[in-house]
Structure 1
Amino acid sequence: MPVAGTPSPSAKPAGKHGKPGAPLRGPLLAAAVTAFIVFASSLVAAWIVRDHLLHVAESTFNARASHVDSDIRRELLLCTQLLRGASGFVVAQAQSSGDGAPSPDAWDRYVSRLDLDDAPPCVRSLGYAEATAIAPSPAAAASGALAHTTLMWPPRGDGLEGNDIGVSDETRAALIRAANSGQVAMSIRPLPHESTLETESTESQTRARVDLLLPVYRSAPPPALVAARRASLMGFTVARLDTEYLFASVAAHEPRMGLHVAGGEPSMLLYPPGIPVGAQYAGRPRFQRTDTLHFGGEALSVTFATSDPALVASAEFSGSAIAAAGFGAALAAGAAVFVFVRKRGMTLAEAGMARSRASQDEARLMAIIRSSGEAIVTTDEQQRIVMFNPAAEQVFRCSAMEAIGAPIDRFIPERFREAHRKYVERFGETGVTERRMGRQQPVLVGLRADGEEFPIEASIAQIHDAQGKLYTVMLRDVTERMRAEDALKASRQELRALSANLQSVREDEKTRIARELHDDLGQQLTALKMDLSAVEQSLGEMPSAPPPVLAQLHGMRRLIDSTVGSVRRIAADLRPVMLDDLGLMPAIDWLLTDFTTRYGIEIERRVEPGGVQFSRNGATTVFRIIQEALTNVARHAEATQVRITLVVEDDHCVVSVADNGRGASGAVRNERPGDKSFGLLGIRERVHILGGSVSIDTAVKKGFTLKVRIPLAAIQQEEALP
């Protein structure tokens, strides 16, 4: 007979011989549903993130393509400048010789001096063609055609059509377009001696020749009316472009991006030579874009394509990473739900085992407390020590046997004991579980067993048990940290002193250089201008004086005037002379006027110093603050209006610079987004030296406001500026 309270030998554990797996079916089903929901959510998130990053990659590709478009346009404009210089040479030769065109020898010498291999390298040859303004027949004149346009250099023509460059329909149309507009015209025509190239998609691409044509007129500037302009036409300067070199040099800036350029009517291949855009990749490019550039009356079709893995690597990695993380989260969530559901059916025996495990956890917790690196001291309601861990023994240099049972006052300096006792009593009355000690003073003072005082940081907690309240203090010795902070503060003060000295030295050096530029170099340039004017006047009175020499002297005088202006501008940027000679207010007026002239940004000013006489150092500081703030506006703000305020409030000089630009997001930064300079950091250092403060108010598309407050005592001295 079985003993009462013991299981019968025939009794079987539940679930052993019942329906197999019945106790696990519910938890497994709940875990599977949870895992599926979490994994499906992660897949959706991965797809959204991947799609967003692919859009970002496409935006990056478009930005890079736009930069290439700008580079192509810049290269073509450089070639245009070369044509304009050659046009000026032709006009000068015509006015000098009177026969209407330079000789082939003179043109040869001029082209040799240009060194076409370097300036710019995309121009293969440079020539000049004489032209008859209006065709001789009335029908041709009515249609706007030109008569023969004879290429007088190079002397053997271009090797294809002879010396008449207007033979082909494309070039003739470009000549008429240039003659009527007075601007550079582009001619794109096929090369008749080269076969077409077949692409992989069976599209034929014709190789082409590209010329730039610029009309040369007898009068400068050319007449406004088309008929008068055609009558004044002398000829055309002609530049043959090396399109392969031009586009290859631009494409080299984006080596991972394919470039395909075509132009003309019908479309002719300009770049790459014989390689269609589709042949640059084994498959379809990941990103592709076609732009149209208009130049010289022609439209260039520029196609960009890339399969650069760096553009999409982050999208692919992020999508895969989120999917993998979602899979792991699904497994973890499923496991958590399985455990939770299983625990709901836990038996009383399992609950007893849980209490046993709780006791083990408590033992582990005590072991952790004993091994903790922080000193832990527990007291009762009478503030007598009941626990003293090994870390506390090291900090206070006292064994736990000596400390336990002793009052906590033993480890507090006598002058702080009464305040500590009242603090613990008030803390016990609040019922707050945990609090950091010493809110009024971040560092407290402890007392070692040998009488040495040392700084500590501490927090206090309270719990209730069967014997009453227990207070636990966790503290750490911060002696070494305090020493390091003191050393850091001293080092920071030394660095600020060094910064102040460097600012002073820099201002003195700027002042010296500005004075030398303004007084020495400016006076020498003025004297040189006077001597040149005297020479020009003397030659002008001579009947035999050659006009080209007089024109060259006049040009030299204009160059000297420009140089004098540059010297004055550089000297003013270093340090305005009026800041030392006239004072701060005239210097600020000059700075604001110069800023508006340079950048076209409207400035609303309110400068009311209220009779304050600024010292030299104070005037320099205020001037540099406004100058640096305006520089930041010009570089980063994209603003159309700036408001400048300089007033006196409560014994402080307040300077405010506010714009209506794009502003900045997040916390206040040392500089606007994307900029790595030290502008605002320099302003903070200048203001800190004078005991002032700097505040910034900004938000995205809400503008940027810089406000500086400087005590008047720091910038208003007895030796004030006038």
Structure 2
Amino acid sequence: MIDLSAELFPAAEAGVIGLAIIRADHVVQERIGRLVEWLPAIGDDCCQCMMLVGMEAELAALSEGRRDMIALASVRGASSGMDVPVTATILWNGAQSHYLVIAMPDFAARQVEVLLGSERRARRLVEQQLEAASAEVRFASLARARLRLARDLHDTLVHSIVSLLTQIRLIRHFLSTDPARVADGLATAEDAAISGLARAREAIARLRMPDELELMPDVEEMLSDFTARTGVEVSASIDDGTRDGLRNHSMTVKRILSEALRNVEVHARARRVQFRAMAERSASGQRLVVEIRDDGRGFDPMVPHPGHFGLIGMAEFAELVGGDCLVESSPGAGTLVRISLPATIPPVVPSSGTFVN
């Protein structure tokens, strides 16, 4: 057990704060409390989590003394009991050569000040928190950009490499069992590489184009293209009262639908897919509900799949517009993706600049 200060350790054990120890090589060494469950598991690289992707330079500056701390605002916990964001502070412990992550609910500056015992650090954290509180729209914009980049990488490079890997394994098998089929396997691998390159170029083009200008086929065209490409039978039911909602949330619905259809194509081995859009009334007002159901082999959502971010990305895209995306599945019972979004898009306050953690 790492020797933590008498003030911090009991608070972490009680769940008041969350604590984590990260080694100098960015490997998570210890996590205490549910408020740091958004970090990767012990033994994994901390920069694998969404909030720390690409922050190696900032962590290096912290360990080298070129900055005092790193403050992360609106970190969403991974625990099912976490329904509020937390503020996380990353400090460098020069004596023991490790990073210390302190996570607290909301913007509890007074608690941070007492626990850290440093007026200067607390003042800087308060300033960071105030900046985050007044820049929620800018933060959402940054999160959207990160999610968009992650989605495009997932949709292009990852799937193309998986396709190529499959063909390479087949070719290796043919070398010893059926050499006459090696040429066909190479041709298929070449086609997969050409297709992946084209999709990567399209992704780069999309990254250079604002979300509002991104051109994508409509939902019904996506379903038709999916059937033509895979042979999977698709039925669609779109209630008349949902047309406006689908137009309002066009980008969100199509991104989640694209990922759901890709999972059906690659993993589910389904014969039929059902798409349904309907309106529901809830305590918070009218909602647009979209369901995507397949009769495939299903899976256990509770089993972690390290390195796979498709399901996480679907939920995060829905959250960005005030909605949620739930996935229900079990082995042999198919999969249901259920998206619930507000019927109208919340007003967006224009802002300039880029929020940097």
Q: Is TM more than 0.5 here?
A: no
Please give the TM-score of this superposition, normalised by the length of structure 2.
0.39
Larger relative contact order (C-alpha < 8 A, sep ≥ 6)? 2
Determine which structure has more spread, i.e. the larger CA radius of gyration.
1
Please give the TM-score of this superposition, normalised by the length of structure 1.
0.21
